[in-house]
Amino acid sequence: MSCYLSRGIRRAVFDDAPAILSIFQHCDLFASTGYRQANISLIDVMDWLENITDRHPILVLEEQGDVIAWCSIEPFYGLPAFDGACEISLYVLPNQQGKGIATRLFHGLETERQRLGFTHLVAYIYLSNLASQRFFKRQGFEQWGRLPNIAQNEQIKEDVLLLGKEF
C-alpha cells in the first residue's frame, strides 16, 4: 500500500524535518529577517512531527524525491466546542510558487476532510503577503478578521489577517 494520498502528496515523516524547516525559513516573513530562524529550529520541527495525529497531520508534496511544499492542520482552539475547526498552514518553496503546487496540496487536504473531521479552516496571513491572500481567497476563504500589529520583532510590525472557510 502506498503512503501517497494523491499525486506526490503524503503524510510527513521524521526524515522530512530538514526540508520542512528549510521551506518554512524560505517563506516566512519573520524568518527572512533572521528573527524566527533563531527561534524555530530543527528540534522544533521534529517536535511538530512527533505531535501530529491522524486528525491533525502534516502533509508534504514531493516531486522527484524532493519535498517542495508542506501543509499542516492543527486544532484551532483547545476547547471541545471548536473540535471541527482547524488552523491551516501551507508553505511552498519560492522557486515552485505559481505552478499550482499549493492548489494541489490544498485539494489533497480537502479530499481527506471527511476522514479528518474538520468543518472549518482558519488561516493567519500577514497583511503584506498578497500572494497568500489571493491563494486562500481562490480556495473559497473569506476575511473573518484583522489583528493589527500582532506580529512584531525589532524590525517589523505586521498586521495579520484571519481568513476562514466553512465547509
- Sign of the Cα torsion 74, 26, 127, 131 reads negative
- Could you tell me the pLDDT band of residue 154, with boundaries at 50, 70 and 90? confident
Domains of the chain, CATH where assigned = 4-118 (3.40.630.30)
The count of residues in the chain is 167
Cell of 55: 486528525
**Mean pLDDT, to the nearest integer, of 113-142?**
96
Residue by residue, DSSP assigns the chain as --SEEETTEEE--GGGHHHHHHHHHHH-HHHHTTTTTTTS-HHHHHHHHHT--SSS-EEEEEETTEEEEEEEEEESSSSGGGTTEEEEEEEE-GGGTTSSHHHHHHHHHHHTHHHHT-SEEEEEEETT-HHHHHHHHHTT-EEEEEEEEEEE-SS-EEEEEEEEEE-
The predicted pLDDT at position 36 comes to 43
pLDDT in tens, 74-88: 999 889 999 999 999
Rounded CA separation 63/45 (Å): 21
Q: Is 144 exposed, middle or buried (0-12, 13-18, 19+ CB in 10 A)?
A: middle
Residue 35 clears pLDDT 80, i.e. is over it: no
pTM, two decimal places: 0.87
Pairing of strands 120-126, 85-92: parallel
- Could you tell me the pLDDT band of residue 37, with boundaries at 50, 70 and 90? very low
